Chains A and B, each alone.
Chain A
Amino acid sequence: MSKLGIKIGKRLFHVQIDALGSLDSQISVQIEGEDVPVILPKQSEDGDKLDWIIINNRPYEINLDADLLTIGLHNRVYPIEIRDLAVSLTRPRIADGRVKAPIPGLIRQLYVYQGMSVEVGQSLLVLEAMKMENEILAPKTGCIRSVNVITGQNVNLNDILVEIE
C-alpha cells in the first residue's frame, strides 16, 4: 500500500495504489476513499515509462515529464504537484547556481562576465544547437562567480557553463 497526494491545478487528491495488483494488468486504486478500476500495461524489465492507461473505462495516452511538474494527456499538458509521504519529495525548481549545458552545442555569444550581477531570467549566453540559437537564462538572481566557457567553444551535455552565487 502506498499513498500519494496529487495536486492538479488547485485541487488536491489522495490516491492509494496497491502494489499486490501489479502482477496483473489490473491494479487496485483508491481515490478519496473510492475504488476505481484501472488497467495499465505491464512494466518491462528495463523499467520503461508509462505510455497509456485505462481509468474508469476511459483510455488516456500519457506523458509524465521527468521533473514531475506536468502531465501530458493526449498531448495537452496540466500542471501537477506530487507529494509522496514514503519518499520526501521536495523538488526545488532550481537546485543551485550552477548553469549546465542542457544540450551539446556551440557557444555563440556570452553576455556575462565574472563579478557581474544578474537577475533571474536574464540572458547569460547563446548556445547554438540543432540550427537554432538558444538563449540560456539565469535560474536565479545573484552574482556571477565564474564563467567557464568562451565564445566559439563546443560544449557537451551537462558541462558547467556559468556559476551564480
Chain B
Amino acid sequence: MKKILIANRGEIAVRIIRSIRDLGLKSVSIYDQNDWQSLHVKLSDECYVIRSEMDRATDVEIIELAKRVKADAIHPGYGFLAEQADFAETCADAGIIFIGPSPEILSLLQDRFTVLELVKRAGIPTPKFLKKLFFVNQIDEIVEACVEMEYPLIFQARYHQPGRSIWFIENQAQAIEMLERLQQKQPNLELFLEEKISPVHLMRVIILRMQNKDSIVFNEIDSSIQFRNRRLIEESPSPIITPKQRNEISQITHEVTRCLNFSGLGTLDFLVDTAGNVFFSKIKPYLPASHVLTEIATGLDLVAFQIMHSAEMGPGIRQDDIQAKEHSLLCRISAVDPYKNFLPSPGVIRKFRLPAGPFVRCDTHISDGYQLPEKYDPILAKISVLSYDRASLLSRMRRVLSETSISGITTDLPVLLNILDQPEFTKSLYHTDFLTQRFEGHLEAIHEIPSEDEYKNFAIATAAAYYYQRNFFRPTMPERLKSTWHQESRKP
C-alpha cells in the first residue's frame, strides 16, 4: 500500500491524512468547490475537486478517481460510506483496498434488526424490541404494535442511513405524525420498534479484532452528554461505570464480535440503565469521532491500526500491553448560536486560535479566513485533554476552552463552559436527558454573573467594545498615508 484516497472531508479527513503521512504513505484528498480552503485539502499530497451533480460525490466518481490517480486503497472515513457493503464490494472489484471490514461483514452489520436478533439469540442482553419489521406506510399496524410495546419507545430504521436513523416517540399522536412525515421523506423506509430506556447512559467501546481472532477491547467512552441529538462532551473512562460493569461490557464486546464473526476495527454502543444493567445496542464498522479519547489515553494511533489491518498487518501489540490509567475528556465546538435557539451560524471565520499547552489535543479542519459552508455540519473543532484524575481533567478543560479564541462567527463555547460547571456534571450524575432538562426553553441558563471585583472591568470592556463597534477609535487618516514612503512616492 503506497497511496490512499480519503473519501471524506473536513476534520475526519484531516485526522486520516495525518495517520497516512505518519506511516510514510501518500494521501489523496477530494473536495467540492465550496470547501477548497479546508485543511484536509492543504495537508494532503494530492487533491482533486469533485464537481458532482449530486449532494455528495457518488461511489462511481470516487472509485474512478482512485483508479485514475493510481491509489491502492480508499479510506471511507467514519460514517455512512464506511458501512456500505456495495461500495466495499465495488472497490474490491476495481482492485482497490477498502479500508474497513469485508463486504460480507458490512452487509450483515448494515442490517441493525438482524444483528440485534442474532445477538439476542446468543444470550446477550439487548433493549426489548418487537421481532417484527414494518414498512413506514403500515401506519395502522405500527400504531397497534406501539400500544403493545407501550410508550415511550423508539423507531429504529432497519438500515442506517445518512441523516437520522432513530426517532424517539412519546405517545400515539407523535407516532402518527412522525410516520406521516417519514412516509413523505422516505417511502421505502423499513423500521422496527424498540423500548426507550430512560434515563439512560450511552457508552461506546472500540474493538480491534484481528484475522486470527485475537482482539483488543479499549475502555468505554461515555457519550451521554447530548443536546438535540448532538454529542457535546464525551469522556473516558465513564465516571459511572464500576470495574465489574467494565468487565461485563468487555465480555459482551468479545461475545458480540465473535457471534457476528467480525474482523477489523469496530465500535459497539451500550446502554446502561439507572439500576446499572448493561444492554448491547449497536455495532458499527468504523471508529467513533471520539476515538481521540482512546488514543490520548493509550498513546496509540487507531487510524494507523485500521490501515495496517486492511494491509493485513497486525498492530504488534496485545491486550495486556494496553494501559489506560488516565482520564480523557473531549468537547466539540460548533458554529451554532445558543441565543438563536442553537441555529447554525455560517460565515467567514476571521480569527481562529486553538488552545495549546500540556496534554491538549485539537482536531480541526479550520484556519483563519475559512468560509464555513452552509452545506456541511457546523462542527469547528474537537478539543481533548488528558489528566491523572477527573477533577484536574475538568479544571484543565475549563482552562483550555477559555483560552480558545474564535471570531467572525458565533460558537457554543459558552454552553460547553457552562456544562463543565454544573454540579450534575462535576458529580457525574448526568444521563442523556440532562442537557435537555437544563437548556430546552431556558437559554438564559448559560448567563454568568461576574465576581464582585470584576463588575467594573466588565462594564469598561463592554463600553470599549461598543465604541469600537461604532468606529469611535477608527483612525481618521489611513495608516498607509502616514508612511513617508507613500508620501515620497506621490511627489511629482
Contacts and interface: CB of A to CB of B under 8 A. Distances in A.
A113 interface: no
Nearest to B457: A55
B447 interface: yes
B103 interface: no
Question: A interface, by DSSP: helix, strand, loop or mixed?
Answer: strand
Given A17-B467, A53-B464, A102-B343, A78 B447 contact: yes
B457 A78 contact: no
A49 B374 contact: no
A69 interface: yes
Interface string B24-42: 0000000000000000000
Interface size class of A (residues with CB under 8 A): 35 or more
Given A77-B447, A79-B444, A105-B374, A51 B341 contact: no
Nearest to A77: B414
B179 to A, nearest CB: 14
A130 B462 CA distance: 32
A29 B459 CA distance: 11
Question: B interface, by DSSP: helix, strand, loop or mixed?
Answer: mixed
Contacts of B468: 40, 43, 48-50
Given A36-B456, A75-B413, A9 B478 contact: no
A74 interface: yes
Interface string A95-127: 000000011110001000000000000000000
Contacts of B335: 130
A161 interface: no
B343 A103 contact: yes
Given A60-B457, A63-B407, A75 B417 contact: yes
B458 interface: yes
Interface size class of B (residues with CB under 8 A): 35 or more
B485 interface: no
A31 B350 CA distance: 31
B471 interface: yes
A57 to B, nearest CB: 10
Contact of B475 (A43, A69, A135): A43
B253 to A, nearest CB: 30
B467 to A, nearest CB: 6
A118 B90 CA distance: 52
B471 A43 contact: yes
Interface string A28-54: 010110001010101111011111010
B376 interface: yes
A147 interface: no
A134 B455 CA distance: 36
Contacts of A109: 181
Interface of B: 163, 181, 335-336, 339-346, 350-351, 374-378, 401-405, 407, 410, 413-414, 417-418, 444, 446-450, 455-475, 478-479
11 contacts: A17-B464, A40-B468, A55-B461, A75-B413, A76-B402, A78-B458, A80-B462, A103-B346, A129-B346, A130-B375, A131-B163
Given A6-B463, A61-B405, 10 more contacts: A4-B466, A22-B472, A44-B479, A47-B474, A49-B469, A50-B469, A55-B457, A72-B413, A78-B447, A130-B374
The 3 A-B residue pairs whose C-beta atoms are closest, nearest first, are A130-B344, A64-B465, A50-B468
